[in-house]
Amino acid sequence: MNAEPELHILFTKKEIKATVGRLAAEISRDYRGKNPLLIGILKGSFLFLADLIRHLDFPLEVDFIRLSSYGKGKETLGKVKVVQGIKSSIQGREVLIIEDIVDTGLTTAFLIDYLRKKKPASLKLCTLTDKPSRRQVPVTIDYLGLTAPNKFLVGYGLDCDEKFRNLPEVYYLEEN
């Protein structure tokens, strides 16, 4: 049987807004005047990145990378691949990865390794949400938004089979 999953609110619009503002203040403090390159991981980070950069009132650049780690549904495939690479040269740049969620850590660990080989001046990670209880490989998060329980999250860019990205809040799914 495949009953519709129930959505339960986890992070409200107000909490997300406050978190984005706090992260933007931390990033501004560290990157103002450094013309950083922000790399959003597609697709989940697009809303977060769009809201975040509206608070950053100094020169910066944006690029995107698309990685595949999950198959259909909620289980990771464990293997990460670059599906769409970045166009910008990152050698000698101050690079900040913008992620929606760190779960097992496999995706971000892969990306950090992949980008480090391209010799940026610095490489840091900002994530809106984190599920530390699911970690399989260690990941250093430099700018952390909200810590989440071990639940599958949707909304504010996060999807389940491409659905729910448009919700302005973050919910967790509960199967019936």
Nearer Cβ to ligand IMP, position 107 or 120? 107
Nearer Cβ to ligand IMP, position 44 or 120? 44
Q: Which of 103, 113, 130, 142 is catalytic?
A: 103
Listing DSSP states for 2-69 in one string gives -PPPEEEEEE-HHHHHHHHHHHHHHHHHHHTTS--EEEEEETTTHHHHHHHHTT--S--EEEEEEEEE
Q: Closest distance between ligand IMP and the C-beta of residue 157, in Å?
A: 9
CB neighbourhood size of 20 (10 A): 21
**Residue 113: active-site member:** no
Using CB under 6 A, list all residues that contact ligand IMP.
41, 44, 69-70, 76, 99-108, 152-154, 158
Q: Closest distance between ligand IMP and the C-beta of residue 107, in Å?
A: 3
- Catalytic residue IDs: 103
